[in-house]
Amino acid sequence: MRNPLFTGKSRVSLVALAAALGVAIAWQAPVTGPLSFAANAQESGGQGTGKGNQGGQGQGSKGAQTGQSQGQGQGGPGEDSDGKGPQAGAPSSSGGGKPTWSQEGIPEVELGRLNVARSPEHVIDQAYEEALASISPEMVSFYNLSLDKAIEELSLNWDNVSFIDSPLQNLGLLQATLDGSTPLASSGVSNDADTLAAIFLGAASDKTVPISTDTVIAVTQILGVPVTGTAAASLAADAEAVRIAILAGHG
């Protein structure tokens, strides 16, 4: 199991995104430095939530930002919830019988469809397995792109891009990646964990809800693999670029 490291890498041209959006985009500069997602989670007191091998049945979404979750299962909150406050039916943790997302320290931030991170663990696990089962050769090609190229494809070549759209499936993949796993490796994806985490989070989010550092802190703490500090800021910047590209491409 490899521990992904943040590395300095080029970012997509703002001119391309601005042209696609028709507006000027102010983009927070990403933070770089040797920070491991897995190490960050351990230092923050997070518990491992490693995923198993491929299995399960289901179909992942393919290049359509529909806002609908595939494989959500039973007991999870709806994707239209406001992303704040406790939700019924979520898994409990060892913290005094409270679910992870009800503990103190989670920023109050609009999560939109990222709110499904509060779903019971077995629901996220099921969605994760469905994501693995849905991977196609076209998706493998997309997930092996550099972050810059993936953003370019999403913003300028939307109709020909195949990727997982389901919030639950993306969050299941994100959870496994932040825990140090390489969930798509057996399908032929060899991209670095930083790029994949940004794509998973950016694709899981609402097109119109910005991804901030507080978003990353909240979602990863809810998932039980907390990312904080400069690591959270870097992931937020990359995932926000993916979200903007999806907004530009989807319209």
Local structure of 36: helix, strand or coil: strand
Burial class (CB in 10 A: 0-12, 13-18, 19+), 235: buried
List the pLDDT tens digit at each of the 251 positions of the chain. 333 434 344 444 443 444 444 433 334 444 444 345 545 544 444 444 445 444 333 344 434 444 343 433 334 444 444 444 333 333 434 445 555 545 566 888 999 999 999 999 999 999 999 999 999 999 999 999 999 999 999 999 999 999 999 999 999 999 999 999 999 999 999 999 999 999 999 999 999 999 999 999 999 999 999 999 999 999 999 999 999 999 999 97
Which has the closest alpha carbon to 211: 95, 82, 112, 66? 112
Please state the pTM of the whole predicted model: 0.67
Helices marked H in the chain — which ranges? 14-21, 37-43, 121-134, 137-143, 147-156, 167-178, 193-204, 213-223, 229-250
Kindly tell me the number of DSSP H helices and DSSP E strands found in the chain. 9, 0
Q: What is the pLDDT of residues 70-105, one digit of tens each?
A: 433 334 444 444 444 333 333 434 445 555 545 566
Tokens of 208: 């119109």
Q: What angle do CA 42, 45, 49 make, to 5 degrees?
A: 65
pLDDT, residue 47, reads 43
The pLDDT, as a whole number, for residue 104 is 61
Cα gap 165→144, rounded to integer Å: 17
Q: Token digits for 91?
A: 């898994």
